[in-house]
Amino acid sequence: MNILVVEDNHVERNNLVRILESLNKDIKVFEVATGGQAIKTLEQEIIQLFFLDIELSDMSGLKVAEKIRSIPQYELTYIVFITTHVYYQLEAFKKYHCYDFIEKPYTQEDILKISQRLIKGVIKESIKEQVIRFEVKNCILKIFLKDIFFIEAQGKNCMVYTKNNQYTIPNTSMKGILEKVSSSSFMQTHKSYIVNIANIFLVERYGKNAWTVYFKEYAVNAYVSNKYKREFLNKFFSGV
């Protein structure tokens, strides 16, 4: 997850970056001091959350927000404005659809309260839209992670079972699949299976040391072996 902090005050920028980085080890914070640098960052990185100081040295943070909103992929991305002047609030909310407004001087608790809520929302949305890509013959196959039930190793190939289809991915190992799948809802449960925990409907004991995994309105099952049982059950019952 990438966050962009646009703040021309060096001390305040460092403090804000420190707070944000402490929230989650998977967060990467990009920090810039000017609107021009912010716009340049947009051309190089994909950002999921913006913290914009309105009073910058080269342009207004509102102009930066206008540029952000002009890019289709950022039409609904969260923007939090930071300023000493509350009279900007109406314009920020109505014209640029910002999520919230932090008035200086702010406390660490102010940042944490807003950031934790937004980061959870971003993570949920990103998982929904996250995709995995495979090279199959002369084309690129793109599959949404949320649509995958499980992946099964079959010799040198892997079978990807989704809501609407089954795909054979040639010359692909389970290790290669795990490297491609970055969502926390996927895990290996057997030497031949990787399952999407988010799509599991029922888990049933199968024999002494194995479990059968069922998916809602889906006829094919996956399995959990004794080796992965403890980790799987902990993750499944924790609701990951």
pTM metric for this prediction: 0.55
Q: Does residue 51 have a pLDDT over 70?
A: yes
Ordered structural domains, the chain, with CATH: 2-129 (3.40.50.2300), 139-237 (2.40.50.1020)
> Tokens in use for 145?
């992670």
78-87 residue pLDDT tens: 999 988 876 6
Is the distance from CB of 31 to CB of 10 less than 8 angstroms?
no
178-204 residue pLDDT tens: 877 766 688 999 999 999 998 999 999
Q: Does residue 177 have a pLDDT over 90?
A: no
Phi-psi map region of 12: left, alpha, beta (phi>0 left; psi -120 to 50 alpha): alpha
pLDDT score recorded for residue 84: 80
Please provide the average confidence, as pLDDT, over all residues in the chain. 87
Is the distance from CB of 114 to CB of 133 less than 8 angstroms?
no
81-126 residue pLDDT tens: 988 876 666 666 767 777 888 888 888 888 998 888 888 777 666 6
- Residue 143 CA to residue 162 CA, distance in Å, equals 9
Written as one letter, the residue type at 39 is I
**72 versus 202: which is more confidently predicted?**
202
144-164 residue pLDDT tens: 888 999 999 999 999 999 988
Beta bridge partners of 213: 203, 222
> Tokens in use for 158?
């892997």
